[in-house]
Amino acid sequence: MTMARIRRTDGTDGVLPGRFDPADTDKWRTALTCIEPNKILVRGYPLDEIMGRLTFGETIYLLLMGEVPSPSIGSLMEAILVSFIDHGATPPSTLAARNTATTGAPLRACVAAGVLGFGRFHGGDIESCMQFLDAGLELVRGGVTYKDAAFTLLQKYFDSEEPIPGFGHRFHTRDPRAARLFQIALELEVEGGHIQMIRAVELTINELPDGRHLPVNIDGAIAAVCGDIGIPPAVANALFIISRVPGITAQALEERNRERPMRQIDPKDHLYDGAGQRRVPDKRR
């Protein structure tokens, strides 16, 4: 019996102070961006060459995943990032940003407050949905049909208060973003097992005698698509944060521009007075 493997409670390991720790004399390493005088390489590519050649969405993929995405995966990245960009004035993260803005705080403080509100119940669903789908796919690999795997996955939610990861929405009975993301994945031919699995789960829920429809939400759709294109859960979670920052920023700017300082913000008590519904121009490139 030895205590040699005991690690300190702060996560560092148990070398006593004063002892020589060779790890400390080594340089630490980064593989993201190389900075030299007058040169910036992002994952090996000169940043000034990336400018004008890759879109922001493609460069985000490059930075997070290490390689330039294929055209299909690049298009899917844009769609994923766009899908989450804003959801109006009522999400708690947006309200945290607006409540910060009304105190006269600088824009970056408002954005930070908003980002902190991507908590367990808000955006945190992508990672748990990926695990949920992976559990189903393991059953499928073991010889079970998607349908049966879905029924098995749902089993433990029948008499539980637990939400089904990736299903249901506060406002929407059918999430238009999820449907569109699946359609784009189909068109780009990147659909794989995760999308099949989540569809099997949705079908199974909707066939239950209870008769209630519980739609795939955008978290679920992103989880399934990310699973199929090989984006790991931690990166999928990062995409969620990145995609919503523009929305939070726009909401904080609007709060500063349109409202009086130190107001009491009732989320339910607002009206939309922006542009009426219009058609998106055709793709230009």
Report, in Å, the least distance between residue 135 CB and a second copy: 16
CB nearer to a second copy: pick between 28 and 143? 28
CB nearer to a second copy: pick between 141 and 174? 174
Q: Give dist(CA 151, CA 145) in Å, integer.
A: 10
Q: Within 238-277, which residues bind a second copy (CB under 8 A)?
A: 238, 241-243, 245-247, 249-251, 253-254, 256-277
Q: Which of 73, 113, 201, 231 binds a second copy (CB under 8 A)?
A: 113
Element (H, E) at 253: helix 233-258
Compute CA distances 164 → 128, 150, 209, 220, 242, whole Å: 9, 12, 17, 10, 24
Q: Which amino acid is at 74?
A: G
CB nearer to a second copy: pick between 6 and 143? 6
CB nearer to a second copy: pick between 145 and 235? 235
Report, in Å, the least distance between residue 223 CB and a second copy: 11
Q: Which of 73, 74, 191, 200 binds a second copy (CB under 8 A)?
A: 74
- The number of CA neighbours under 13 Å toward the Cβ of 8 is 8
Write the binding mask 93 to 112 for a second copy: x where contact by CB under 8 A, - elsewhere.
Answer: x-xxx-xx-xxxxxxxxxxx
Residue 215 tokens read as 């739609």
Does 189 interact with a second copy (rule: CB under 8 A)?
Answer: no
CB nearer to a second copy: pick between 142 and 279? 279
CB nearer to a second copy: pick between 81 and 197? 81
Q: Give dist(CA 31, CA 48) in Å, integer.
A: 18
Q: Which of 73, 125, 197, 229 binds a second copy (CB under 8 A)?
A: 125
Q: Give dist(CA 230, CA 228) in Å, integer.
A: 6
What number of chain residues touch a second copy (CB under 8 A)? Answer: 179
Q: What dihedral do alpha carbons 190, 233, 159, 139 form, nearest 10°? A: 60
Q: Give dist(CA 191, CA 185) in Å, integer.
A: 6
**Span near a second copy by CB under 8 A; candidates 86-94, 141-149, 193-201:** 86-94
Q: Within 137-156, which residues bind a second copy (CB under 8 A)?
A: none
User: How does DSSP classify residue 27?
Assistant: P
Does 4 interact with a second copy (rule: CB under 8 A)?
Answer: yes
**Span near a second copy by CB under 8 A; candidates 133-141, 142-150, 178-186, 189-197:** 178-186
Task: List, in order, residues 6 or more apart from 152 with CB less than 8 Å away.
Answer: 136, 139, 144
Does 236 interact with a second copy (rule: CB under 8 A)?
Answer: no
Does 19 interact with a second copy (rule: CB under 8 A)?
Answer: no
> In 3D, which of 259, 218, 214 has the Cα closest to residue 236?
218
Residue 195 tokens read as 């999308």
**Span near a second copy by CB under 8 A; candidates 138-146, 195-203, 211-219:** 211-219
**Cα Rg, the chain, nearest whole Å:** 23
Q: Within 156-175, which residues bind a second copy (CB under 8 A)?
A: 157-175
Q: Which amino acid is at 117?
A: G
